[in-house]
Amino acid sequence: MNRMEAIGSPARVALKKMPIAFLPKTAYTYSGRFPEKREENKKRAYKENAMQKATVVIPNYNGMKFIKECLESLLEQDIPLSEYHILVVDNGSTDGSRQLIEDAFPDVSLIALSSNTGFCHAVNAGIEAAATPYVILLNNDTKVHPRFVRALCDSMDARPEAFAVNANMRIWDRPELMDDAGDRYCALGWAYARGKGRPAARYDSPAEIFSACGGAAIYRKSILEEIGLFDEGHFAYLEDLDIGYRARIYGYRSFYEPAAQVIHYGSASSGSRYNEWKTELAAANSIYVIAKNMPILQWIWNLPFLLPGFLVKFLFFCGKRMGILYLKGLWNGVKKSFSREGRERKVPFRWEHLGNYLAIQGQLYANTLRILKKS
């Protein structure tokens, strides 16, 4: 599901009214403490089944076209439902999809939010309600393989150091092609999907990645409790990169698991890969990710890469007649980063994390070379 479908036009209007793109209902800090609990979510938390290992959290906003097939595939896993839990967080849908879930899927739990609060808030509500060691985030416009849940859980069990594992995401109408085999981030300030549009057969081995795509990935809840949940200051776009980056600062790693297959509709046929709202918001968040996660010396060190990276992106969007919107988004990102809320969310530098910062810098260089080599 692309973020336009996750959020919807009402949230787009609300966001444009806010100069720095922060939602007022943000209760999270990112200094290594457990995020503040919301009372309404605690009341909705289900009782933990001692056998359950994972909760599948699906954010839904007007997903009538997809949600039925998504849930049916999740209920056809090769492990019994007693070993995992399915939780839909509805973001104030008005198309009947919430009613469909209530009526047709009695084995699926539902958190029904009264209004559309955005992707990050919805998944955070689901994570807070989860009473299992692992949380799987899944977009509603997906259909999963019967081994999906088992493969993700097995991958986490085998890697105690893993924060997250990315599923094998294929393009819906061309499943022989990859949609996402894990996300990469480079010194140019670009985030990109590993394997996008390439033959899936090339990505049949597990691999370490920079961060997991939140459209189909499993997360270790104990680490989320340590480093904080998804930053609602993003609202949408790059929030999964941000949390994967934050986990790396704390010394945790992310991986790709080819056995956990899922087909994804959004990037294949949504027709919204480039649009005005996404361009402006993603540009803002590209600045915000840097300001949040890089110590000042590191972003100064990377300026010789970041400046040409942003210039290339600007010229690219000029070709799509959205260059001014891209610049506006970058400026919004600067304002967001240096606002009071932005400063509070910055990951504090700690000397014990120095080795992790150096390892991250190596990843930024390596992923830049991969772009140049088109690998």
pLDDT in tens, 309-323: 999 999 999 999 999
Measured between alpha carbons, how far is 269 from 171 in angstroms, rounded to an integer?
9
Q: Are strands 174-180 and 109-113 parallel, antiparallel or unpaired?
A: unpaired
CA 103 to chain centre: 29
Angle of helix 239-249 versus helix 354-373 axis, rounded to 10: 130
Query: pLDDT tens digit string along 255-308?
Result: 999 999 999 987 433 346 678 888 999 999 999 999 999 999 999 999 999 999
Distances (CA, A) of 223 to 35, 189, 190, 207: 12, 25, 25, 20
**Ramachandran class of 187: left when φ > 0, alpha when ψ lies in -120 to 50, beta otherwise:** alpha
What average pLDDT does range 82-110 have in this prediction? 95
Q: Can you read off the two tokens belonging to residue 309?
A: 């990276």
β-strands 54-60, 134-138 pairing: parallel
pLDDT for 211 beyond 90: yes
Express each pLDDT in 225-255 by its tens digit. Answer: 999 999 998 887 899 999 999 999 999 999 9
Mean pLDDT of 354-363: 97
User: What whole-number distance in Å separates Cα of residue 138 and Cα of residue 165?
Assistant: 12
Closest Cα to residue 221, out of 237, 243, 195, 192? Answer: 243
Residue 34 is given by DSSP the state P
Angle at 90 between CA 86 and CA 94, to 5 degrees: 140
The model's pTM is 0.85
pLDDT of 34 above 90: no
37-54: b (≥16 Cβ within 10 Å) or e: ebeebeebeeeeeeebbb
How many other CB atoms are there within 10 angstroms of residue 13's CB atom? 10
Mean pLDDT for 100-119 is 92
